[in-house]
Amino acid sequence: MAGFDIKDLERRMQGALNVFSEDLMGLRTGRASVGLLEPLTVEAYGAQMPLNQLATLSAPEPRLLTVQVWDKTMVNAVELSIRDGNLGLNPVSEGQVIRVPIPELTEERRKELAKIAHKYAEQARVAIRNVRRDGMEILKRQERSGEISQDLQHDISKEVQNLTDENIAKVSVVGVGMRTNPGVAAKVFETLAGVGVNIEMISTSEIKISVVVEGSKGEEATRALHTAFFGDEK
């Protein structure tokens, strides 16, 4: 069928998950990582541009990021993007170099990082839903034009929906001492079991516990863990 390629939809959905994984890598608490700033965009030259297309990002110290802005007229816009990026960062400009100290990992900071991770997860879900929508629209156009039958359109639409559902969601609890605090892992397991979410895979590090669940359960798992660890705060 010209115009419809389920492999392309699969590739684009995987691309959205890859972006999500890269965004999460930037949330390594307590240490500076340029990945923390890479998702940001800046209002520049009449368009929204990725920050890394306007400046050189580096992490010269464990708790410091620097942003070398190439065009001095863009310094204020870049600084504003970092400050308003919901990352809890306070950049300081020194000429065309913007210094971005990484805050100490307090309880408040941990909650901020959890909110950021939740935002990244929602962006990934929206991107995957948009890919599904594009596929469904192509199928509907082909059915209306007579290229495919209504039954075939219905069957392939089911395949697209199944592809969307089969995409797995990675849910993380971010904080200090995760590997040495068995109480946190137990709380994760109990919380997900309580809402009927099966864990397909789990990994731990010093700063986070990550679980992999069925894609259709990702949003439910995220809400349950957020409530369990942070109450009803949004």
Looking at residue 1, the DSSP 8-state letter turns out to be: -
Is 177's pLDDT higher than 60?
Answer: no
Q: Residue 169 in contact with residue 20, Cβ under 8 Å?
A: no
Determine the straight-line distance between the first and last CA of the chain, rounded to whole angstroms.
44
Question: CA–CA separation, 146 vs 30, rounded Å?
Answer: 58
Specify the fold of 6-20+107-230: Alpha-Beta Plaits (3.30.70)
Length of the chain measured in residues: 234
The structure's pTM equals 0.54
Check residue 115 and give its pLDDT. Answer: 73
* Fold agreement (6-20+107-230, 31-101): no
- Reported as a single tens digit per residue, the pLDDT across 123-173 is 887 888 899 899 999 999 988 988 888 898 899 998 888 777 766 565 556
Q: At what angle do helices 182-194 and 218-230 cross, to 10 degrees?
A: 130
Is 27's pLDDT higher than 70?
Answer: no
CATH 3.90.1150.170 fits 31-101, yes or no: no
2 vs 41: which has the higher pLDDT: 41
Q: Taking residues 172-195, report their average pLDDT.
A: 70
Question: CA–CA separation, 28 vs 44, rounded Å?
Answer: 28
Indicate the domain borders of the chain. 6-20+107-230, 31-101
- Tell me what percent of the chain is helix, strand and coil, each rounded to the nearest 5: 50, 20, 30
231 vs 224: which has the higher pLDDT: 224
Buried b vs exposed e over 184-203: b needs ≥16 C-beta within 10 Å? bbebbeebbeeeebebeeee
Q: Residue 65 in contact with residue 91, Cβ under 8 Å?
A: no
- Reported as a single tens digit per residue, the pLDDT across 85-107 is 877 788 999 999 999 998 776 77
